[in-house]
Amino acid sequence: MRPRYVSEDGFAINQKKPRSKYTKRRKKPKKLINIIFSQKTTIILLLLMQFLQIFLAFTYLSSNYTYLSVFFSTIGIGVAIYIVNTDRNPAYKLAWLVPLLIFPVFTTILYIILSNQPYKRKVSNAYVEKNLDTRDFLPEDTELTDKIKQDDPELYRLIRYLDDSAGFPAYCCEDITYFPLGEDKFEAMVRELKSAEKFIFMEYFIVDDGEMWGEILDILIEKAFAGVEVKLIVDGMGSQFTMPARDIKAIEKAGGRVLIFNRFRPMMSTIQNNRDHRKILVVDGNVGFTGGVNIADEYINRLIRFGHWKDTAVMLRGQSVWNLTMMFIQMWEVISQESIVYNRYRPSEPTEKPETQGIVVPYSDTPLDSEKIGRMVYLSMINNAKKYVYITTPYFIPDNEILSALDLAAKSGVDVRIITPHIPDKWYIQCITRSYYLELLNMGVKVYEYVPGFIHAKNTLSDDKRAVVGTINFDYRSLYLHFEDAVFMQDTSCIPDIKEDFDDLFLNRCHRITYEDIRNLSFASRFCSIILRIFAPML
C-alpha cells in the first residue's frame, strides 16, 4: 500500500511521486515559441483558415448577395425539411434549425459539407460489419437466460435487448470489485498489470504525461520486453496533445503496439465528433477494468485542478471479462484492418461454477449505428425503479426522453437524486447543467453538487438491486456521439459498496440544491444558459 496523506477536504491522496525509468516525467513550462509552433496551434489555425475561406467567398460574391441569399435560402428550406423528417432527437434538430433561420447561407453550406462524408460512411460500415462478424464469438448462455426469463421478466427484457442490439451477453457474476476513488482503481490496476503473463489490452480516451502514466509505462515496457503481448488504443483527440510521442516509440521498441483512434485532422468533419471515450483494461483475459478513470494525474489526485477529483471504476474477474476483450478486439481490427485469432484471448475456464449471486453484462455503445444502447439502459434503470434511482454524472445535458422519464419517476413517488460537480472542468457545461436545476426541482427530483471539487463518476443505482458503472455521461456527446462502455449489474456483491458510496456523498460530500440557490445564480449565468442550451446537442 502506497503512503497517503489527507488533503484539506478529508480525502486520501497519494504522496509517493515516482518517475519513469524510461522517460523524464517532469513537465516544463512551454515557451511562447513552442506554443506558436505546436501541433495544437497548427490545427487551430488550419480550422480557422477553412472558416475564413467561406467568409471570403461570401465577401467576393457580395455584389450578387441578393441572388446568393435567395438561392441558399431556398436550399436551406429543403435542408430544414430534411432535418425535421430525420429520426434524430428533437433537441438536435433544433440546434440546426435555429442557425438555419439566423444564418441560412452559411449554415446550409456547413450542413451539406458535414453531411456528405464518404470517409465517415466507410468507418461506420467497417465497425458495424465487425460487430456483426464477432457475434458468433459472444454466444448467450441459454440456460442462464431461460432461468432469468422465468424468475425476473423485467431483467430478461433488458439483457435480451443488450444481447440482440449490442451483441453482448449476460453472465453469472463471478467476482466484481467497486472502486469509489480513482486512487483505489489505480492501485489495483498496477497490481494486475505487474501480474500479466500473456497479454495486456488498454483502451483509453486520455493518456496524459505524468506520474500515473509514468508508472504504467514502466510496467508496459518491462512486460513487452518479457514477451507479454501489449496493445494500447488511445483516442486521437483526447490524447493527441497529452501523450508524448517518445512514449509510443518506447512501447513499440519493446515489442508493444500503439494505435490512435480517429486521429484528429484539421478539417471540418462530423467524424471528428465521434471519439473513443471508453476506458478498458484487460489482463490475460481474466481481469478487466472499466469506469470513468482516464490515465492522468488529476484522476488520482496527484494533480489538483478542480478541487478533489472524485471518480469510480469496477474490476471484473472471470468469464464476463470476455465482453471487454471483444470490445477491444473489435476496435483494434477496425483501426488496424488486421485479423485476430479471437480464441487466443479467451478467459481461462473456471474450475467450478461461481457461488456469487447476481448478473453482470459489460456492454458498449457506438455512435455509428441507429441504436443508442447507453441511453436505453439508463431509461430502463429510471423507468423500472420502484423505490429510488441515484445518478452521478459530470455533465448533465439530457434529451427530452430522459427528462420525461425522470419526471414520471419522481412524480410516481420514486426518490430520484442527481449529483453533479460544484467545481466544473468546463464552465459552459456547468452553465447548461445548472439551467436544468429549476426544471428538475419542479419535477420533484433532488439535485446535489459535489462540494469538494469535480465528480467525474458515471454511476446509476436503483433499489439496492441494479447498478451501472462505466464511461457514459448524461449528455449528448456520450449518448449520441461517442464510443462508450459500461457494466450493468443486478444483485452483485458490490451493489452494497456502491450504495454506501452514494450515502456518503449525500451525507458528507454534497450540497443539496434549493430554490434559493437557483435564485442566487448570476444574471450572466442565466443569460449564458439560455443561449448555450439551444446549442447543447452540438457541444
| Per-residue pLDDT at 42 exceeds 60 | no
Q: Which helix (H) or strand (E) holds 258?
A: strand 257-261
Residue 245 CA to residue 161 CA, distance in Å, equals 41
Q: Residue 89's pLDDT band (boundaries 50, 70, 90)?
A: low
> What is the fold, at CATH topology level, of the domain defined by 373-538?
Endonuclease; Chain A (3.30.870)
Q: Can you give the pTM of this predicted structure?
A: 0.84
**3-state DSSP of 11-22:** CEEECCCCCCCC
Please say if 277 is a catalytic residue.
yes
Q: Which of 308, 310, 372, 458 is catalytic?
A: 458
Q: Which of 279, 422, 482, 499 is catalytic?
A: 279
In 134-244 the beta strands, taken as DSSP E runs, fall at 171-172, 175-179, 199-204, 229-235
> Tens digit of pLDDT for each residue in 213-226?
999 999 999 999 99
Please say if 279 is a catalytic residue.
yes
Pick 274 or 324 by higher pLDDT: 324
> Tens digit of pLDDT for each residue in 487-525?
999 999 999 999 999 999 999 999 999 999 998 887 777
CA angle 253, 255, 256 (to 5 degrees): 100
For the ranges 32-36, 235-239, 273-277, 386-390, the lowest mean pLDDT is seen at 32-36
Residue 460 CA to residue 406 CA, distance in Å, equals 13
Please say if 164 is a catalytic residue.
no
| pLDDT at residue number 9 | 45
Please say if 184 is a catalytic residue.
no
| pLDDT at residue number 33 | 46
Q: Which of 175, 218, 276, 284 is catalytic?
A: 284
Residue 112 CA to residue 76 CA, distance in Å, equals 10
Set of cell numbers at residue 212: 500515473
The chain-wide mean pLDDT, for the chain, equals 84
Numbered ranges of CATH 3.30.870.10 in the chain: 121-160+172-357, 373-538
| Per-residue pLDDT at 15 exceeds 80 | no
Strand 459-462 relative to strand 359-365: parallel, antiparallel, unpaired?
unpaired
Q: Residue 21's pLDDT band (boundaries 50, 70, 90)?
A: low
Residue 537 CA to residue 12 CA, distance in Å, equals 37
| pLDDT at residue number 240 | 74
| pLDDT at residue number 204 | 97
Q: Residue 28's pLDDT band (boundaries 50, 70, 90)?
A: very low
> Tens digit of pLDDT for each residue in 99-135?
777 667 667 766 766 666 655 666 777 777 777 788 8
Closest CA to 303 of 425, 430, 427, 451: 425
Residue 261 CA to residue 363 CA, distance in Å, equals 19
CATH of domain 121-160+172-357: 3.30.870.10
| pLDDT at residue number 427 | 86
Only one residue has cell 435487448, namely 161
Q: Which of 120, 185, 231, 456 is catalytic?
A: 456
Pick 56 or 482 by higher pLDDT: 482
| pLDDT at residue number 19 | 47
Q: Which of 463, 475, 485, 501 is catalytic?
A: 463
Share of the chain above pLDDT 70, in %: 76
Closest CA to 170 of 489, 476, 469: 489
Q: Average pLDDT of 431-440?
A: 93
Query: Which DSSP string corresponds to 371-438?
Result: --HHHHHHHHHHHH-SSEEEEE-S-B---HHHHHHHHHHHHTT-EEEEEEESS-SSHHHHHHHHHTHH
| pLDDT at residue number 118 | 58
Set of cell numbers at residue 452: 469538494
Set of cell numbers at residue 109: 453550406
Pick 311 or 481 by higher pLDDT: 311
Closest CA to 155 of 377, 461, 407: 377
> Tens digit of pLDDT for each residue in 151-193?
999 999 999 999 999 999 999 988 999 999 999 999 999 999 9
| pLDDT at residue number 266 | 55
Only one residue has cell 490545427, namely 43
| pLDDT at residue number 315 | 97
**One-letter identity of residue 42:** T
Please say if 458 is a catalytic residue.
yes
